Structure 1
Amino acid sequence: MRDPPSTAVYAPHIHPATLPNDPEVDITCIAGNAPTHIKRLTCNTLLAHGFGTDPTAFGYHVGRAIRFVEMSIERNIDRADRLEATTIAEVTVTKHMLNGAGMLHGGCVTYLIDICCSTPLIVLGLFLSTNGIGVTQAMNVLFHAPSPLDSQLRIASTSISLGGRVMTSRCEIIDKGTGRPVASAFLNKMQPRQAKL
């Protein structure tokens, strides 16, 4: 695996090349034209900062249930001078994701969006030698339909902008069995400023 270009500025604790490989992810199962090392570094970043390695941590089991099936980088259709990254993830709704009514909990939907909608920014940042990792600043979520136990969900996320301080992406969650939209969202992330001493 090769390191991301040295021009990217990361805090030492989040540099993707310093993170351990996620042993549960088989990169060869992820389609798309993103380079293999970028797929690997993106998955490593999610393991370290998205859901972690502690099974008692918040969201660990939900995060571990997510499987990325595609990571791609393409020219923007409307602006050929811009690149955009797309990631597609899949997850099955399990019992620990449900609310009291037996449907996918809105908080769990938001967590899935926060994880999955961050990935095209990470992919594009690695590809462009810039930091695509940040902290969530804002999220606008629209809930369209409930998802019962055992629903197969497809989460398609696309980068919109990757600025030096603020980044934006969007995603749609679709029920694979019915084709029905479950939720859609816009996610803003930001690079926190280092405190000056």
Structure 2
Amino acid sequence: MPAAEGLRRLQSFSRAPPPNDDISIVKTNLTQDSVRLLQNILAYHVASHPGSRVFGNEQGKGLKLVEASIRNRNGVLSGDESLDDLEATTVCELVVDQSMLNVHGTFAGACAAHIIDIATFSPLFALATVTGSDPSGFSTSMNLVWHAPAVLGSTLRFVGTSLSCKAKFATARCEVYDKEKGTLIVSATHVVAPVRGLAMRGAPTQVHKSRARL
């Protein structure tokens, strides 16, 4: 599937409901259309639609995109970059509620892994908004390190950063912080194998200058 078709697939997703229905709350250097697309992609992956019974929807539906940016790792954006010249960062926030706690009253490890899965895909999709490549795929590995517990009512910041986008694998990392205290809660690295025909393949996809204000 050509890159343009991959992007069209992402653009076909339904408009995101709250809390991802307002582009003005997102701190970004991307275009408004790119931010709106990112919000729609996020809502799709937490299955935010009426009557949803998809695994993790109850816990993930409050995940809110608050920051999204792309930069050239080597300096000023020229428009001739390959995917690996670019680094995307997204920040999503989530308030810990009762359904996310384990028997000890802290943020459950399984819930953390589920949200980190989405939060590490997020910067890869940010790249998609300016390159046209669709990074959709399946996880091959996810390494997580727990640093501190999070408790009921905590607002967590999931900072996702793209590391590498290759034809066979894409990699991103995530750090989860307590927003109020600044404490590192979890850190993770996630490796994804793009679905053949949807994602990055062949020659590196170049960024289009008009798609982002960097």
For 1:99, give the aligned amino acid. N
Matches within 5 A, 1:72-87: 72-76=69-73, 82-87=85-90
- What TM-score, normalized to structure 1? 0.86
- Counterpart CA distance in 1 for 2:127 and 2:151 is 33
- Counterpart CA distance in 2 for 1:38 and 1:44 is 10
Counterpart residue number, 1:158? 161
Counterpart residue number, 1:58? 55
Q: Residues 36 and 130 from structure 1, CA distance in 2 versus in 1: closer, same or farther, beyond 3 angstroms? A: same
Deviations 1:7-62 (A, max 9, x none): 335398xx111111113221121111122212111221222233342432211122
Question: Aligned with 1:117: secondary structure?
Answer: helix
- Counterpart CA distance in 2 for 1:140 and 1:79 is 32
Question: Among residues 20, 37, 42, which one is paired with 2:14 in the alignment?
Answer: 20
Counterpart residue number, 1:125? 128
Question: Aligned with 2:59: secondary structure?
Answer: helix
Q: Does the aligned pair in 1 maintain the 2:136–2:195 contact within 8 Å?
A: no
For 1:58, give the aligned amino acid. F
Counterpart residue number, 2:171? 168
* CA RMSD, 1 decimal: 2.2
Counterpart residue number, 1:3? none
- Counterpart CA distance in 2 for 1:8 and 1:167 is 19
- Counterpart CA distance in 1 for 2:142 and 2:5 is 25
Q: Does the aligned pair in 1 maintain the 2:63–2:94 contact within 8 Å?
A: yes
Question: Aligned with 1:58: secondary structure?
Answer: coil
Higher relative contact order (CA 8 A, sep 6+): 2
- What TM-score, normalized to structure 2? 0.80
- Counterpart CA distance in 1 for 2:93 and 2:44 is 20
Aligned residue pairs, count: 187
Counterpart residue number, 1:29? 25
For 1:88, give the aligned amino acid. V
For 2:184, give the aligned amino acid. P
Unaligned runs of 5+ in 1: 1-5
Unaligned runs of 5+ in 2: 198-214
Question: Aligned with 1:46: secondary structure?
Answer: helix
State the shift of 1:77 in Å. Answer: 5.1
- Counterpart CA distance in 1 for 2:137 and 2:191 is 9
Q: Does the aligned pair in 2 maintain the 1:30–1:70 contact within 8 Å?
A: yes
- Counterpart CA distance in 1 for 2:25 and 2:11 is 21
Q: Does the aligned pair in 2 maintain the 1:139–1:187 contact within 8 Å?
A: yes
